[in-house]
C-alpha cells in the first residue's frame, strides 16, 4: 500500500511538472527578439546593392528612386517605423533557471505539506465506513502488526511537534485499536487539552476510560460524554454512550431519547447493523420504561470487534459451528456467518459477536469481552446467554427469510467451552 501511494504521488508530481515546464522550455528554445534586426540587415544589403547599380549605370535616376521607395515601403510594412523614443530595457527571465527551481521546489514543498497536514497512518490504515467514524473504533478492525509500527513512528514524529493535537488524537485512537487503553488514556488527555471542544475526541476519550475502568461510564467518562454532547448535540457516539449510561441507571425513558437522537443523526450511508442495534435498544428501553411496545425489534447482531484474547479464559465461550447435513446444499460460499451471544435477561443487543464466512465452516469460535460491541455490556457480566449462529445471504445481520440459523440447546454461562452449535433451521 505504501509503495503504491508513493508511486501514484510521484506520477502526479511528474505530470504537474511536465504541464508547467513544457511551455516554458519550449519558449526558451526560440528567441524572437532578433527578428527585426535580421530583417533590417537584409534590407540594408539590398539598399547597398541598389546604390551600386545606380552608380554603375544599371539604373537611371527614375528607376533608382522607384526601386528605393519600394524597398522603403516593404521595410516599413515588415518592421514598422524606427523608434524615435527611448525604450525601456526589460530584463528577461531565464526560463531554464526558473524550470530548475520548480523541479526542486514542487516535490519538496509537496512532501513537506503532506508531512505537516497529511495523515501518514492512512497509507496503511485506511478509513473505515463513515458510521465507524461516528460510533467508534469498536466497529472496525485493523491488522495489529502494521498499525503498531505506524503508531510508534507517529509517536516519534509527535516528539518533534508536541502541539499537534490532531496527531495526538490519532495516536490515542491507534492505541485503542491495538487494545492498549492504559496508554491511550493519557494521550487522549493531552489531545483534549490541545483541542478542548472536539466532540468526537471527547466521546472517544470517554469510551477508552470506560473500558479501562471495567466498562463503567460513571464519573469522569460520563462528564466527558456530556461535554461532547454540549460541543455537538448530534454526535452519534456521544449520544449512544449517554443512552448506555441512562440504561444502566434504569432511566429507560432518557436512554430511549438519547438513542432516538443517535439514530436520527446517523449518516445516510450508515450500516444497517448499527441502525437495527439502535432500533432494538430503543424498543427495549421503551418496553422496560412502560412506553410504546417494540414493533421492529429483533435480535440483531452488530459488527464484530477484533478479538484480542485479553479476556480471562474462564469467562469466554468457545466452540464449533457446523451445518446439518439436511442443509448442506443450501446457501453459497459467500454467505456471511454471524456467531453471537445474547443475554437471556438483558437487552436484545448482543454482548459478544464474531463474523466469518460460510467457507470457514466448520468454524471454531471464541466469544469474550473483547468481542463486545458496547463498552458497558460485556460477556463476563451478562449471566446466562444464548449463543446463535446465523448464515446470512445478504451479509446483513438482520434475520431474513431464507437465512440458515442454529442456537445453543440451552442457555450457557460465560466460561463454557467446547460448545457445539448446529445450523439446522431455515428461517421462514
Strand partners, 391: 337, 404
Give the count of beta carbons closer than 10 Å to the beta carbon of residue 59: 18
Q: What is the pLDDT of residue 213?
A: 79
Mean pLDDT value of segment 77-84: 59
Question: Is residue 375 predicted with pLDDT exceeding 90?
Answer: no
pLDDT digits (tens, 9 = 90+) for 224-280: 999 999 999 999 889 999 988 888 888 888 988 998 998 888 887 776 667 877 887
Q: What is the pLDDT of residue 34?
A: 53
Residue among 417, 343, 409 nearest 377 (CA): 343
pTM listed for this prediction: 0.42
pLDDT-derived band at 112, boundaries 50, 70, 90: confident
Give the count of beta carbons closer than 10 Å to the beta carbon of residue 321: 23
pLDDT digits (tens, 9 = 90+) for 266-311: 887 776 667 877 887 888 888 887 765 444 333 333 333 333 333 3
Q: What is the pLDDT of residue 313?
A: 42
DSSP element (H, E) containing 177? helix 165-177
Give the count of beta carbons closer than 10 Å to the beta carbon of residue 381: 16
Question: Is residue 49 predicted with pLDDT exceeding 70?
Answer: yes
Amino acid at each position: 500500500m505504501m509503495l503504491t501511494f508513493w508511486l501514484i504521488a510521484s506520477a502526479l508530481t511528474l505530470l504537474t511538472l511536465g504541464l508547467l515546464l513544457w511551455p516554458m522550455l519550449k519558449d526558451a528554445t526560440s528567441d524572437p527578439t532578433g527578428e527585426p534586426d535580421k530583417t533590417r540587415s537584409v534590407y540594408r544589403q539590398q539598399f547597398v546593392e541598389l546604390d551600386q547599380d545606380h552608380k554603375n549605370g544599371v539604373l537611371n535616376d527614375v528607376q533608382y528612386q522607384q526601386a528605393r521607395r519600394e524597398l522603403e515601403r516593404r521595410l516599413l510594412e515588415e518592421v514598422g517605423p524606427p523608434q524615435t523614443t527611448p525604450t525601456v530595457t526589460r530584463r528577461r527571465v531565464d526560463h531554464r533557471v526558473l524550470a530548475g527551481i520548480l523541479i526542486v521546489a514542487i516535490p519538496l514543498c509537496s512532501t513537506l505539506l503532506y508531512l505537516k497536514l497529511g495523515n501518514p497512518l492512512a497509507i496503511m490504515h485506511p478509513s473505515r465506513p463513515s458510521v465507524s467514524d461516528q460510533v467508534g473504533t469498536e466497529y472496525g478492525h485493523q491488522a495489529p502488526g502494521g498499525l503498531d509500527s505506524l503508531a510508534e513512528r507517529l509517536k516519534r514524529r509527535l516528539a518533534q511537534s508536541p502541539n499537534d493535537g490532531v496527531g495526538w488524537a490519532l495516536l490515542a485512537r491507534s492505541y485503542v485499536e491495538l487494545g492498549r487503553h492504559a496508554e491511550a488514556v493519557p494521550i487522549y488527555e493531552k489531545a483534549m487539552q490541545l483541542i478542548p471542544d472536539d466532540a468526537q475526541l471527547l466521546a472517544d476519550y470517554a469510551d477508552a476510560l470506560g473500558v479501562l475502568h471495567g466498562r463503567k461510564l460513571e464519573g469522569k467518562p460520563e462528564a466527558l460524554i456530556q461535554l461532547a454532547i454540549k460541543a455537538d448535540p448530534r454526535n452519534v457516539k456521544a449520544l449512544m454512550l449517554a443512552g448506555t449510561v441512562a440504561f444502566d441507571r434504569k432511566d429507560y425513558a432518557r436512554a430511549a431519547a438519547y438513542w432516538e437522537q443517535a439514530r436520527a443523526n446517523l449518516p445516510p450511508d450508515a450500516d444497517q447493523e448499527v441502525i437495527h442495534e439502535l432500533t432494538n435498544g430503543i424498543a427495549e428501553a421503551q418496553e422496560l420504561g412502560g412506553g410504546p411496545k417494540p414493533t421492529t425489534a429483533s435480535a440483531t447482531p452488530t459488527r464484530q470487534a477484533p478479538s484480542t484474547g485479553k479476556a480471562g479464559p474462564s469467562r469466554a465461550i468457545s466452540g464449533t459451528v457446523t451445518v446439518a447435513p439436511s442443509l448442506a446444499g443450501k446457501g453459497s460460499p459467500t454467505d456471511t456467518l454471524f456467531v453471537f451471544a445474547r443475554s437471556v435477561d438483558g437487552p436484545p443487543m448482543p454482548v459478544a459477536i464474531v463474523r466469518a464466512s460460510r467457507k470457514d465452516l466448520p468454524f471454531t469460535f471464541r466469544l469474550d469481552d473483547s468481542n463486545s460491541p458496547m463498552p458497558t455490556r460485556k460477556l463476563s457480566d451478562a449471566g446466562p446467554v444464548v449463543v446463535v449462529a446465523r448464515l446470512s445471504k445478504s451479509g446483513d445481520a438482520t434475520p431474513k427469510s431464507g437465512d440458515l440459523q442454529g442456537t445453543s440447546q440451552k442457555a450457557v454461562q460465560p466460561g463454557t467451552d467446547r460448545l457445539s452449535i448446529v445450523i439446522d433451521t431455515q428461517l421462514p
